[in-house]
A and B are shown apart, each in its own frame.
Chain A
Amino acid sequence: MSDTSLARKPARFRPATEESPAARRALIGVAFLGLGILAFAPLIAVFAEALADGIAASLRSLASPDARAAIRLTLTIAAISVPLNAIFGIAAAWFITKFDFRGKAFLITLIDLPFSVSPVVAGLCIMLMFGTNGLAGGWLATMGYPIVFAIPGIILATLFVTFPFVARELIPVMIEQGRSEEEAALTLGASGWRIFRTVTLPNIRWALLYGVLLCSARAMGEFGAVAVVSGKIRGQTATMPITIEMLYQEYLPVAAFSLAAVLALLALVTLLLKTVLEIRHADQLAATLRR
């Protein structure tokens, strides 16, 4: 083969849809640097501070009665509010995607509303409704159901801030899947509950799990709204984030960061599971991963 027939690929040739290698490297560098400083550094800081006095000190502080009460309370809150939220999400998604009614767009806006309300304002709203001086709170308290500065208030606050999580994941998926499968089951004489269990649920289970995962992470970590309604009673209404704040203000950094490290570990597990879901079941999740 003669030399002239071999096209020497000039160094500057690159596809029209690519940036120069220098620009590429610079952008990737910015991404690593930015996320390194903004995301990885705080994460590392949590564990470094927690282990500042060694792992034994850290574990000892986690075994203290206050820390244990906080962990127990946070798990209780999540165990109650996440299923409630899932039930709401399924019901809302069913109502919105299986029926035609007026004001559907408005209803969706209302469900999304908590995302754009400051958690502190959310807590304030619950306070004004269910607080002892609130619209319904006084009456409920005299009936023997105190809401605010007690567990029900924390649950309400948690429900408020996590309200759209499950519904938001389910609605797009159920719209995409349409109604024909349920209608087919209906013609075959299946009952409503049976249709849901055998037709709908298998189609939405990954989206449901995804929503529940995000909801749990937020439920266990919520601070602003809970700070308003909890009353911060040690051992009774102090959740993990609230206890972290109290320990930190009392200059007990190892105790505060140890508890924070538990939550950070949970966050990492959440991210891991979320990534696995996104890789394995991308086709069954909502197309937009926006929250």
Chain B
Amino acid sequence: MMGRPFIHRSPMPGLGLSMGITLTMLSIVVLLPIGALLLKGASYGPAGIWETVNRERVWAALFLSFRLSLFAALFNLVFGVALAWVLVRYRFPGRRILDAAVDLPFALPTAVAGIALTALYAPNGAFGRLAALIGWKIAYTQWGIFIALVFVGLPFVTRTVQPVVEEIEREVEEASATLGASRLHTVRHIILPMLAPAALTGFALSLARAVGEYGSVIFIAGNIPMVTEIAPLLIIIRLEEFNYDAAAAIGIAMLLISFLMLLVINLIQVWSRRRIGDV
């Protein structure tokens, strides 16, 4: 039946052990739990999931999470590309520290980031006071959620774009200039299109991270149903009410969004590889 063997014979030792550890741990830690969620969803049926999700409060939470994540990821797209450019192309005092600081959102626990951002942007906080001068309320509004999501998504675009900036051949930029293009024209028509696939990948990663983010958001959000209540929080609330079915339904909706974004990331990569190839 099978055209080729499932595993090629190899003199390399350790096949059984490495395969055993890999598959066992993958199953226990990842596959069985996700399977349990999907099974719950299956027992529930699409109609059942729809019934739970199709409530105003759930929609509001999912829509809020997705919308603000999109805005935050867009902000990170622009800022992240600029930052990657600055870090790779320019030499200035403090560059290494800036470069290391990009990873801070990866290293700083989300709960720590959450209370720190709240302390800064609350009406009596350092930035909150400034904003209050012009009547702008940040913490406990959607602005606060936006800022927290920008924070957690900060590294993705920069870290995916940086290696690509490093690889741009100087000759390509020079060619553009010899053909009469101004620097701005070169940036817009040569450099940015070359960075686009990596930037889009980073954008999608940042978006995926933001949609699922919980720890850094809940402190600053205010968590008012329909207004500043994010989808992951709603899952926690349902779980605390022991309403596992509702929690699972929202969880499946979020899982589907994640899978969709994973698919988009892969499609971007396939598309850019096919189009640009390797020259």
Spell out A's residues near B (CB within 8 Å): 16-20, 23-24, 27-28, 30-32, 34-35, 37-43, 45-46, 49, 84, 87-88, 91-92, 94-96, 98-102, 107, 109-111, 113-122, 124-131, 133-136, 156, 159-160, 163, 179, 182-183, 186, 191-192, 195-196, 214, 217-218, 220-224, 227-228, 240-242, 244-245, 248, 253, 256-257, 260, 263-264, 267-268, 270-272, 274-275, 287-291
Contact call A118/B29, Cβ cutoff below 8 A:
no
Query: What would be 18 A-B contacts, judged by CB atoms less than 8 Å apart?
Result: A16-B176, A16-B177, A31-B98, A40-B101, A42-B113, A42-B151, A102-B4, A107-B22, A118-B254, A120-B236, A120-B251, A160-B33, A163-B30, A223-B110, A228-B239, A275-B96, A275-B100, A289-B162
Name the contact of B33 in the complex, choosing from A95, A107, A126 (C-beta under 8 A).
A126
- Taking CB atoms, residues of chain A closer than 8 Å to B77 are none
Convert B149-183 into 0s and 1s, putting 1 for each residue whose CB lies closer than 8 angstroms to a CB of A: 01100111001101100000010011011100001
A120–B107 CB distance below 8 A: no
Evaluate contact between A43 and B33: CB separation under 8 angstroms: no
Q: Interface majority SS on A: helix, strand, loop or mixed?
A: helix
The CA-CA distance from A270 to B100 in the complex, in Å, is: 10
The chain A residue with its CB closest to the CB of B40 is A128
Tell me whether A256 and B33 are in contact (CB under 8 A): no
Q: Which residues of A are found within 8 Å of B28, using beta-carbon distances?
A: 156
Find chain B residues with CB under 8 A from A191 CB. 13
Q: What is the chain B residue whose CB lies nearest that of A117? A: B258
Chain A residues whose CB sits within 8 angstroms of the CB of B59 once the complex forms: none
Of chain B, the residue at the smallest CB distance from A159 is: B29
What is B's interface to A at a CB cutoff of 8 Å? Answer: 4, 6-8, 10-15, 17-22, 25-26, 28-37, 39-40, 79, 82-83, 85-87, 90, 92, 94, 96, 98-113, 115-117, 119-120, 125-127, 150-151, 154-156, 159-160, 162-163, 170, 173-174, 176-178, 183, 187, 208, 211-215, 219, 232-233, 235-236, 239, 244, 247-248, 251, 254-255, 258-259, 261-262
- Select one of B30, B82, B160 contacting A290, CB under 8 A: B160
Chain A min CB distance to B41 (Å): 10
Contact yes or no, B34 A117, CB < 8 A: yes
Instruction: Tell me whether A113 and B29 are in contact (CB under 8 A).
Output: no
State in angstroms the CA–CA spacing of A24 and B25 once bound together. 49
**Cβ-Cβ contact count across A and B, 8 Å cutoff:** 308
- Partner of A16 from the list B92, B102, B178 (CB cut-off 8 Å) is B178
Question: Which residues of B lie under 8 Å from residue A96 when comparing CB positions?
Answer: 22
Beyond A95-B18, A121-B254, 15 additional pairs, beta carbon < 8 A: A17-B177, A30-B79, A35-B98, A35-B102, A43-B108, A46-B115, A91-B22, A94-B18, A107-B22, A110-B31, A131-B244, A217-B107, A221-B108, A241-B215, A245-B219
**Cα distance, A227 to B240, chains bound together (Å):** 11
B14 contacts A94, C-beta separation under 8 Å: yes
For A257, list chain B residues within 8 Å (CB): 115, 119
